[in-house]
Amino acid sequence: MSLISEHHERRELGPIGQLLMKGDNAAGVLLTIRSRLPDTGQVIVNLSSWYVEPSCRWFAPRMLQMASSDENELFTDLTPSAEACKLNERLGFHTVTDCTLFYPLPLAAFRPAGARLRPLTQTMAETLSSETRDVLEDHARLGCIVAIMEAEGRRHPLVFLKTTTRKLPSARLIYCEDRQIAQRHLPAIARHLLGKGRLALTISACEKDRHAGGFAAHKFAPIQVKGAWNPRFINETYSELVLLPP
């Protein structure tokens, strides 16, 4: 919790959650982890880790409705259970990705690469907006792998969370402006991550894409969003995946 509190305090994002009170006692809790989109500054509220005592469970939909009612904010749920998915849909959420894709990196690294990944140096950072630079530098401090991919005439900021998948040291892509850019340039990403000791890559995506580019679906893992959202945009930064490490 300390990482979440520190993030909210430093970025002036307010309380980190809400309590459901029954008289003088707390009967439920909901984490609301906030951040801002680098390009627009719009606030994203990630609903995470909610619990309501069984005797007050009937009030859970109302608690979630109140937490996701601000029309000026975007809302995400990155790790909903099957039960939470149904409840979220009643509150206006929609599913943007439904599975996790698994890439064995040694195989991908042998394919021709049409891009190059560079570490975030001071010189490279100066070419980015201050908002994007803050996101990348924050996550580098949190132990993530941060890189700039030069591809298709542009620079694409990437953030990878260090994870373990199928007992392999792996990385999860948690920030990319366009998922398809990453998929097209998987060989370059593979070579960079192999150099960081990672043997596999996971990416949130849609089941319909599971056979594209030679990757396989790892598991059913929906991500739900309320508000306008580009389904190809990956943004799991400042989430419980990063700020509540196992």
The 10 Å Cβ neighbour count of residue 197 is 10
Q: How far apart are CA 165 and CA 16, in angstroms?
A: 29
Per the CB < 8 A criterion, the answer to whether 237 and 135 are in contact is yes
Taking the C-alpha atoms of residue 37 and residue 184, their distance in angstroms, rounded to an integer, is: 24
Strand partners, 17: 31
CA distance 175 to 94: 20
CA dist., res. 151 & res. 185, Å (int): 8
DSSP classification of residue 231:
T
Specify the pLDDT at position 218.
Answer: 67
Alpha-carbon distance of 189 to 201, in angstroms, equals 9
pLDDT of residue 215: 64
Place of tokens 């990416």: 203
Give the C-alpha separation, 121 to 13, whole Å. 28
**What CA–CA distance (Å, rounded) separates 84 from 105?**
33
Give pTM, 2 decimals. 0.92
> Could you state, in chain order, the average pLDDT of each consecutive group of 10 residues for the chain (246 residues)?
93 88 75 93 91 76 88 95 90 93 91 91 80 94 96 94 92 96 94 97 84 63 94 95 88
DSSP of 32-100, one letter per residue? EEEEE-TTT--EEEEEEEEEE-GGGGGGHHHHHHHHT--TTSEEEESS--HHHHHHHHHTT-EEEEEEE
